[in-house]
């Protein structure tokens, strides 16, 4: 319900408004960056977050290089004079409050926890940008693809999220939805875990997942990453999650395809 007044003003603008009349936007979150790049006219984009052109953070890093980057300081963004700022739920609340105190409207987007949430977030950004028709086309295409997905059965391959320090993802997360949409069962969910959780090496060994979902390692080394590369895991196939897994965008289906590829490999090896 936050900033309904700002959205109401945008919604009442005439649909025939020219490009120069469309709201100018600054995005301060890597996921809202991607929705802005997907839906906005180039002239609407005042600036994007500093991570918007990082290939390991954004599926639209290549497109983002063309636009100015902002820093998360309210006064610096206020000087840019955007009509509205779009942020994510995990942006610093103090930063958001300071932005609002400058008189800059802020629209905060929720954390995406399910594939079915994505069309609503696309439509939400469409309303903010006055690009509702464009957003509706993207949202409907997403819904069509989503409608074709079936839940994995009890014979489906078992996968385990096992990131540095044993970090795992249970039911009620976007990654869980991607995994099951790709045709695999989630060990964390089958153990009754929800949201952000952890698995131990002992649990992995005991339950013998068909494959692991991990993060591609960064250069260098860390003790937290060493756990995910323990020798006891040797021989278990690994699917490295990619940037496609992160934000509310059509590229989530590329992540689903990554899982489908691993599921097909596991089934072939079974046969």
Q: Which domain holds residue 166?
A: 158-270
Residues in a beta bridge with 118 = none
Q: Supply the CATH number for residue 169's domain.
A: 3.40.50.1980
CA angle 93, 107, 196 (to 5 degrees): 55
Residue 152 domain-assigned (yes or no): no
Question: Do 141 and 8 share a structural domain?
Answer: yes
Residue where one domain finishes, among candidates 120, 145, 170: 145
CA angle 115, 86, 242 (to 5 degrees): 40
pLDDT in tens, 233-250: 999 999 999 999 999 999
- The predicted model scores a pTM of 0.89
| Number of domains forming the structure of the chain | 2
> What span, in angstroms and rounded, lies between the C-alpha atoms of 226 and 45?
41
Q: What is the per-residue pLDDT for 146?
A: 97
Question: Do 178 and 131 share a structural domain?
Answer: no
Question: Do 251 and 131 share a structural domain?
Answer: no
DSSP code of 61?
H
- Please enumerate in sequence order all residues whose Cβ is within 8 A of that of 239, keeping only pairs 6 or more positions apart, or say none: 159, 211, 212, 213, 214, 258, 259, 262
Question: Do 187 and 132 share a structural domain?
Answer: no
DSSP per residue over 75-130, as a string? HHHHHH--SEEEEETTS-HHHHHHHHHTT--EEEEPPP-SGGGHHHHHHHHHHHHT
125 and 32 in contact (C-beta within 8 Å)?
yes
Structure tokens at 32: 């809202």
Residue where one domain finishes, among candidates 145, 168, 183: 145
Each residue's pLDDT, cut to its tens digit, for the chain (271 residues) gives 444 444 444 444 444 345 568 999 999 999 999 999 999 999 999 999 999 999 999 999 999 999 999 998 999 999 999 999 999 999 999 999 999 999 999 999 999 999 999 999 999 999 999 999 999 999 999 999 999 999 999 999 999 999 999 999 999 999 999 999 999 999 999 999 999 999 999 999 999 999 999 998 776 667 777 888 889 999 999 999 999 999 999 999 999 999 999 999 999 988 7
Question: Do 220 and 114 share a structural domain?
Answer: no
């Amino acid at each position: 319900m936050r900033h309904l007044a700002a959205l109401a003003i945008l919604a009442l603008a005439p649909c025939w408004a020219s490009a120069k009349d469309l709201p100018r936007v600054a995005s301060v979150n890597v996921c809202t960056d991607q929705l802005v790049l997907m839906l906005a006219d180039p002239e609407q984009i005042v600036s994007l977050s500093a991570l918007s052109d990082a290939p390991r953070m954004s599926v639209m890093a290549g497109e983002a290089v063309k636009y100015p980057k902002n820093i998360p300081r309210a006064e610096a963004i206020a000087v840019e004079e955007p009509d509205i700022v779009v942020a994510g739920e995990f942006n610093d609340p103090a930063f958001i409050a300071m932005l609002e105190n400058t008189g800059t409207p802020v629209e905060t987007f929720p954390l995406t926890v399910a594939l079915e949430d994505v069309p609503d977030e696309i439509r939400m950004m469409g309303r903010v940008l006055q690009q509702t028709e464009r957003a509706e086309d993207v949202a409907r295409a997403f819904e069509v693809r989503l409608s074709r997905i079936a839940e994995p059965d009890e014979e489906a391959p078992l996968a385990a999220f096992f990131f540095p320090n044993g970090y795992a993802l249970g039911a009620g997360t976007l990654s869980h939805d991607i995994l099951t949409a790709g045709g695999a069962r989630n060990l964390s969910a089958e153990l009754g875990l929800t949201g952000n959780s952890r698995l131990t090496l002992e649990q992995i060994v005991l339950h013998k997942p068909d494959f692991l979902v991990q993060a591609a390692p960064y250069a260098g080394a860390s003790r937290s990453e060493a756990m995910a590369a323990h020798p006891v895991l040797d021989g278990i196939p690994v699917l490295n999650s990619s940037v496609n897994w992160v934000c509310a965008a059509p590229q989530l289906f590329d992540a689903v395809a990554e899982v489908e590829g691993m599921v097909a490999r596991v089934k072939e090896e079974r046969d």
